[in-house]
Structure 1
Amino acid sequence: MPSMVDELVFSEPSRRIGLVFLCGALLLAGQQGYYVIVKGATPFYGGLFLIAGMALSGIAESLPKSQRRAAGALRLTAIAVLVSLLVIGFVTPELFSA
Protein backbone atom coordinates (compact mmCIF):
# COMPACT_ATOMS: atom_id res chain seq x y z
CA MET A 1 0.00 0.00 0.00
CA PRO A 2 1.66 3.27 -1.10
CA SER A 3 1.99 5.96 1.48
CA MET A 4 0.54 9.45 1.23
CA VAL A 5 4.03 10.95 0.84
CA ASP A 6 4.77 8.73 -2.15
CA GLU A 7 1.49 9.73 -3.78
CA LEU A 8 1.91 13.47 -3.24
CA VAL A 9 5.63 14.17 -3.33
CA PHE A 10 6.81 11.55 -5.79
CA SER A 11 3.86 11.69 -8.20
CA GLU A 12 4.24 12.38 -11.90
CA PRO A 13 5.06 16.03 -12.67
CA SER A 14 2.41 18.24 -14.23
CA ARG A 15 3.64 20.70 -16.86
CA ARG A 16 0.74 23.15 -16.41
CA ILE A 17 1.35 23.55 -12.71
CA GLY A 18 5.07 23.92 -13.40
CA LEU A 19 4.37 26.71 -15.84
CA VAL A 20 2.18 28.49 -13.29
CA PHE A 21 4.88 28.23 -10.61
CA LEU A 22 7.64 29.42 -12.94
CA CYS A 23 5.56 32.36 -14.20
CA GLY A 24 4.69 33.29 -10.62
CA ALA A 25 8.35 33.19 -9.62
CA LEU A 26 9.25 35.30 -12.64
CA LEU A 27 6.56 37.87 -11.82
CA LEU A 28 7.67 38.08 -8.19
CA ALA A 29 11.32 38.42 -9.24
CA GLY A 30 10.41 41.18 -11.69
CA GLN A 31 8.45 43.03 -9.05
CA GLN A 32 11.28 42.66 -6.55
CA GLY A 33 13.84 43.84 -9.10
CA TYR A 34 11.71 46.83 -10.08
CA TYR A 35 11.34 48.08 -6.53
CA VAL A 36 14.99 47.50 -5.66
CA ILE A 37 16.55 48.89 -8.84
CA VAL A 38 14.14 51.60 -9.97
CA LYS A 39 12.61 52.75 -6.69
CA GLY A 40 15.72 52.17 -4.55
CA ALA A 41 13.84 50.19 -1.92
CA THR A 42 15.47 47.59 0.28
CA PRO A 43 14.81 44.01 -0.82
CA PHE A 44 11.92 42.19 0.82
CA TYR A 45 13.54 39.02 2.10
CA GLY A 46 10.25 37.16 2.42
CA GLY A 47 9.72 37.66 -1.29
CA LEU A 48 13.09 36.12 -2.03
CA PHE A 49 12.06 32.98 -0.14
CA LEU A 50 8.77 32.86 -2.07
CA ILE A 51 10.62 33.27 -5.37
CA ALA A 52 13.02 30.45 -4.51
CA GLY A 53 10.23 28.13 -3.35
CA MET A 54 8.07 28.76 -6.40
CA ALA A 55 11.02 28.39 -8.78
CA LEU A 56 12.02 25.06 -7.23
CA SER A 57 8.44 23.82 -7.47
CA GLY A 58 8.19 24.97 -11.07
CA ILE A 59 11.42 23.22 -12.00
CA ALA A 60 10.23 20.05 -10.25
CA GLU A 61 6.97 20.07 -12.20
CA SER A 62 8.78 20.76 -15.50
CA LEU A 63 10.94 17.63 -15.34
CA PRO A 64 10.06 14.65 -17.53
CA LYS A 65 7.81 11.97 -16.08
CA SER A 66 10.69 9.53 -15.92
CA GLN A 67 12.48 11.64 -13.29
CA ARG A 68 9.97 11.31 -10.48
CA ARG A 69 12.63 11.03 -7.78
CA ALA A 70 14.38 14.23 -8.84
CA ALA A 71 11.03 16.00 -8.95
CA GLY A 72 10.25 14.71 -5.46
CA ALA A 73 13.60 15.92 -4.14
CA LEU A 74 13.01 19.38 -5.63
CA ARG A 75 9.51 19.47 -4.16
CA LEU A 76 10.87 18.59 -0.72
CA THR A 77 13.53 21.28 -1.08
CA ALA A 78 10.85 23.82 -2.02
CA ILE A 79 8.81 22.82 1.03
CA ALA A 80 11.91 23.22 3.22
CA VAL A 81 12.55 26.71 1.82
CA LEU A 82 8.95 27.81 2.42
CA VAL A 83 8.86 26.29 5.92
CA SER A 84 12.10 28.09 6.73
CA LEU A 85 10.34 31.32 5.72
CA LEU A 86 7.70 30.61 8.36
CA VAL A 87 10.29 29.72 11.00
CA ILE A 88 12.32 32.86 10.35
CA GLY A 89 9.10 34.89 10.46
CA PHE A 90 8.36 33.58 13.94
CA VAL A 91 11.92 33.83 15.27
CA THR A 92 12.91 37.23 13.82
CA PRO A 93 9.82 39.03 12.53
CA GLU A 94 11.70 42.33 12.23
CA LEU A 95 13.60 40.87 9.28
CA PHE A 96 10.42 41.00 7.19
CA SER A 97 9.12 44.36 8.33
CA ALA A 98 9.88 47.39 6.20
Structure 2
Amino acid sequence: MKWFNRMVRSRFSKAGVLALVIACVVLQSPAVIAAPFLLAEVSASDAASLVVKKTGGKVLKVTEEERDGRWMYRVKVLLPQGRVKTIMVNKETGSVGG
Protein backbone atom coordinates (compact mmCIF):
# COMPACT_ATOMS: atom_id res chain seq x y z
CA MET A 1 0.00 0.00 0.00
CA LYS A 2 2.90 2.39 0.67
CA TRP A 3 4.09 2.08 -2.90
CA PHE A 4 0.57 2.95 -4.09
CA ASN A 5 0.41 6.07 -1.91
CA ARG A 6 3.83 7.17 -3.15
CA MET A 7 2.80 6.58 -6.75
CA VAL A 8 -0.46 8.52 -6.35
CA ARG A 9 1.31 11.40 -4.62
CA SER A 10 4.02 11.55 -7.26
CA ARG A 11 1.49 11.36 -10.10
CA PHE A 12 -0.62 14.14 -8.64
CA SER A 13 2.37 16.31 -7.97
CA LYS A 14 3.60 15.81 -11.54
CA ALA A 15 0.12 16.50 -12.87
CA GLY A 16 -0.14 19.56 -10.65
CA VAL A 17 3.20 20.87 -11.84
CA LEU A 18 2.25 20.21 -15.45
CA ALA A 19 -1.08 22.03 -14.98
CA LEU A 20 0.74 24.97 -13.42
CA VAL A 21 3.24 25.14 -16.28
CA ILE A 22 0.46 24.99 -18.87
CA ALA A 23 -1.50 27.70 -17.05
CA CYS A 24 1.55 29.96 -16.99
CA VAL A 25 2.22 29.46 -20.69
CA VAL A 26 -1.41 30.08 -21.63
CA LEU A 27 -1.70 33.18 -19.44
CA GLN A 28 1.44 34.65 -20.99
CA SER A 29 0.45 33.99 -24.59
CA PRO A 30 0.01 37.11 -26.77
CA ALA A 31 -3.67 36.37 -27.37
CA VAL A 32 -4.46 36.38 -23.65
CA ILE A 33 -2.33 39.45 -23.00
CA ALA A 34 -3.92 41.39 -25.89
CA ALA A 35 -7.49 40.29 -25.18
CA PRO A 36 -8.44 43.22 -22.91
CA PHE A 37 -7.12 45.69 -25.48
CA LEU A 38 -9.13 44.11 -28.26
CA LEU A 39 -12.29 45.10 -26.44
CA ALA A 40 -11.22 48.71 -25.90
CA GLU A 41 -12.27 51.37 -28.35
CA VAL A 42 -9.81 53.59 -30.17
CA SER A 43 -9.81 57.16 -28.84
CA ALA A 44 -9.88 60.26 -31.03
CA SER A 45 -6.24 61.00 -30.21
CA ASP A 46 -5.30 57.40 -31.10
CA ALA A 47 -7.10 57.80 -34.43
CA ALA A 48 -5.20 61.03 -35.09
CA SER A 49 -1.89 59.33 -34.26
CA LEU A 50 -2.68 56.43 -36.62
CA VAL A 51 -3.41 58.85 -39.45
CA VAL A 52 -0.23 60.86 -38.82
CA LYS A 53 1.78 57.64 -38.82
CA LYS A 54 0.20 56.54 -42.10
CA THR A 55 0.34 59.85 -43.97
CA GLY A 56 3.04 61.93 -42.33
CA GLY A 57 0.62 64.85 -42.40
CA LYS A 58 -0.82 67.23 -39.81
CA VAL A 59 -4.25 66.50 -38.33
CA LEU A 60 -6.65 69.41 -38.68
CA LYS A 61 -9.84 67.98 -37.19
CA VAL A 62 -11.26 64.74 -35.79
CA THR A 63 -15.01 64.08 -35.68
CA GLU A 64 -17.03 61.00 -34.88
CA GLU A 65 -19.83 59.59 -37.05
CA GLU A 66 -21.78 56.44 -37.72
CA ARG A 67 -21.51 54.72 -41.11
CA ASP A 68 -23.43 51.55 -41.91
CA GLY A 69 -23.92 50.79 -38.22
CA ARG A 70 -20.22 51.26 -37.39
CA TRP A 71 -18.73 54.14 -35.46
CA MET A 72 -15.89 55.84 -37.27
CA TYR A 73 -13.59 58.80 -36.79
CA ARG A 74 -13.41 61.22 -39.70
CA VAL A 75 -9.88 62.61 -39.58
CA LYS A 76 -9.13 65.65 -41.73
CA VAL A 77 -5.40 65.81 -42.42
CA LEU A 78 -3.09 68.22 -44.24
CA LEU A 79 -0.75 66.06 -46.31
CA PRO A 80 2.93 66.99 -46.81
CA GLN A 81 2.10 67.76 -50.47
CA GLY A 82 -0.28 70.52 -49.31
CA ARG A 83 -3.55 68.70 -50.03
CA VAL A 84 -6.28 68.20 -47.42
CA LYS A 85 -7.62 64.67 -47.21
CA THR A 86 -10.29 62.99 -45.09
CA ILE A 87 -9.40 59.57 -43.73
CA MET A 88 -11.76 57.27 -41.86
CA VAL A 89 -10.63 55.27 -38.82
CA ASN A 90 -12.79 52.47 -37.39
CA LYS A 91 -13.48 53.27 -33.74
CA GLU A 92 -13.67 49.60 -32.70
CA THR A 93 -10.70 48.13 -34.60
CA GLY A 94 -8.47 51.10 -35.35
CA SER A 95 -8.26 50.18 -39.03
CA VAL A 96 -7.35 53.16 -41.18
CA GLY A 97 -9.20 53.66 -44.47
CA GLY A 98 -8.45 55.88 -47.44
The structure carrying a bigger strand percent of its residues is 2
What TM bracket, shorter-length normalisation?
under 0.3
Q: TM-score, normalised by structure 1?
A: 0.27
The structure carrying a bigger helix percent of its residues is 1
